[in-house]
Amino acid sequence: MSYTFNAEKTAKDVINWVKKWFEENGSPTTCAVVGISGGKDSSLTAAVCVEALGKDRVIGVLMPQGEQADIAYSRLLVDTLGIKSYTINIGDTVSTFMNELSKHIEPSQQAVINTPARIRMTTLYAVAACVGGRVANTCNLSEDWVGYSTKFGDAAGDFSPLSDLTVTEVLQIGDYLGLPKELVHKVPIDGLCGKTDEENLGFTYAELDRYIRGLTDLSDKPELKEKIDRMHRNNLHKLRLMPKFEYSEFKNE
């Protein structure tokens, strides 16, 4: 398969998409609310929103959990884009909740990992409710493909500029838009065990992206292919609408 990614065209397309979405889902003053981690996805999402709406209609929300060693990256993005921002520390909220939970049930590792992400999304929607904004989803296709996101956490949002773009493509657009290299190419770390995303996944984004785009069938790496396919199948529920019972009594036959 031959596939060439055009970063310039795609950047313009996604900017126009965001602009049109806000025209149809807000007013001329409706803001985009973006959770800022200082990584490639939140950086590019915020930059795209600035290009589409103007910096006065983009609000960045920094949400450290206690002390965040790399929060300077988040501040660098806010300063680079010139957007308004709020820093809302979720550390006490997470601790209070987990302490209360532990009185009734032993918190699982899954709960420890996912709860902060869900509290961050709650924070973003609280800010959006205060300013009449719309919350940006910052996930990319590569992460969504293998479920490397938290349901109702970072996987939530009102609009999603990057969820059809792989990590490789996000990096190229970030470079095209001239974002600081240290933001676009910052190595993503989970913030819990000190491992990078790729170490946790067990494969590189480059391998995953080539497989997603059909540039390789991984026939030379059957175990890796099976792992990616299994992760994709097991996590499709994060991308689909919640299943519901359909009451058919009043449906036309």
pLDDT at 225 over 70: yes
Phi, psi of 51 (to 5 degrees): -65, -35
Look at residue 120 and tell me if it is in a domain.
Answer: yes
What's the mean pLDDT in 141-167?
96
* Residue 1 binned pLDDT confidence (cut-offs 50, 70, 90): low
Q: Is 46 helix (H, G, I), strand (E, B) or coil?
A: helix
For range 217-224, the mean pLDDT: 96
165 lies in a domain?
A: yes
Q: Show the CA angle centred on residue 46, arms to residues 10 and 198, nearest 5°.
A: 75
Task: Write the CATH number for 131.
Answer: 3.40.50.620
Residue 253, pLDDT above cutoff 60: no
Summarised one tens digit per residue, pLDDT across range 5-57 is: 999 999 999 999 999 999 999 999 999 999 999 999 999 999 999 999 999 99
Q: Quote the CA–CA distance of 81 and 127 in Å, as a whole number.
A: 19
204, part of any domain:
no
In a domain, 231, yes or no: no
User: 51: left (phi > 0), else alpha (psi -120 to 50), else beta?
Assistant: alpha
- Secondary structure (3-state) at 121: helix
Residue 25 sits in which domain range? 7-187
- Has residue 232 been placed in a domain? no
pLDDT at 24: 97
Residue 88 falls within a domain, yes or no?
yes
CB atoms within 10 A of CB 220: 8
Domain total of the chain: 1
> Is 237 within a domain?
no
Asked if the structure places residue 220 within a domain, the reply is: no
